[in-house]
Amino acid sequence: MGEKTVTSTVRGSENPLVIKARVVASLALRETRVTFGGVKLGYFWAIFEPVLGTALLTLVFSFALRHPPIGTSFPLFFATGILVFNLYQKLSGSLMIVFQNNRALLTYPLVTETDVVFARFIVILMTYLMIFLIFFSGLIALDLADFPHRLDLVFLAIAAMAALGLGAGLTNAVLCLLWPTWRRIEAVITRPLFFISGVFFIPSNFTPGIRYWLSWNPMLHAIDLFRVGYYSNYYSNTLDLPYLGFYIIVLIFIAFGAERLFRRRQH
């Protein structure tokens, strides 16, 4: 009896942030096993599938276009667009169904909705950081790219795109709980984003009128920021960091605010 009392006292006095970190870490490990453990070489394939897909798209577009809009390397230009956009797409799509996939876990008292969101977010982000490292290291090794000009801006762009994916994914997750059909509607609405986010072009090549309308897309700014950080000879007259930061803050506020309101409504 005394031992149980001591144990409960220790647990009760333990820092809540430490407990929360342990819960999220455990969920992240479970997420990794569930996502990649059931497939032979699952994590290896999760990393190299986007790498191979990007390489294939690069090969196709290198035949269609004579010169990339920036520099001389097609693989580098398309990688700075496709891989960054894919990070957003993966986060947004996976987080949208995170609550449905973890209903059983949410019955445990220590596990909250935000815990499963952050666990999946961490797993996806870590996976894509590995993808970035492998792909760009390969390009540098093959003399198809130089080392990034401003590594701090490259990481800032990745963080910005990850935050956009987190905000959009969590907002969509709440909407899907309220209205399951939203998942199909969202897929149709967001499909054009791949073509208007600067994956295959740089906004500076368009007229001011077109640039103005394109500049409302925050993902275009994140991709442009990545290229500004990578290329030493690229200057963007479209990139607006204050707008990108403001959009991310508002989106994150809406996402977590909607999740909190929905959780209170459920309980």
In a domain? residue 131: yes
Answer yes or no: is 140 within a domain: yes
Residue 240 is classified by DSSP as -
Domain assignment of residue 6, yes or no? no
Q: Which residues contact 11 (CB under 8 A, 6 or more apart)?
A: none
| pLDDT at residue 13, as a whole number | 56
- 4 lies in a domain? no
What's residue 10's pLDDT?
42
**Domain range for 84:** 11-266
Q: What is the pLDDT of residue 204?
A: 87
Residue-wise pLDDT for 2-15, tens only, equals 444 434 444 555 77
pLDDT at 4: 44
What is the torsional sign of CA 241, 244, 246, 248?
A: negative
State pLDDT tens for residues 216-235: 999 999 999 999 999 999 99
Q: Count other C-beta atoms under 10 Å from residue 212's C-beta.
A: 12
Residue 42: pLDDT band with limits 50, 70, 90: low
| In-domain check, residue 26 | yes
Q: How many domains does the chain have?
A: 1
Residue 3 lies in a domain: no
Residue 216 lies in a domain: yes
Which of 198, 263, 196, 264 is closest to 227 using CA atoms?
A: 198
The reported pLDDT for the residue numbered 7 is: 42
pLDDT digits (tens, 9 = 90+) for 140-172: 999 989 999 999 999 999 999 999 999 999 999
If pLDDT is split at 50, 70 and 90, which confidence band does 39 have?
low
Mean pLDDT of 54-62: 76
Q: Minimal CA–CA distance to 135: which of 195, 192, 55?
A: 55
* pLDDT band, very low/low/confident/very high, at 99 (cuts 50, 70, 90): confident
pLDDT of res. 53:
79
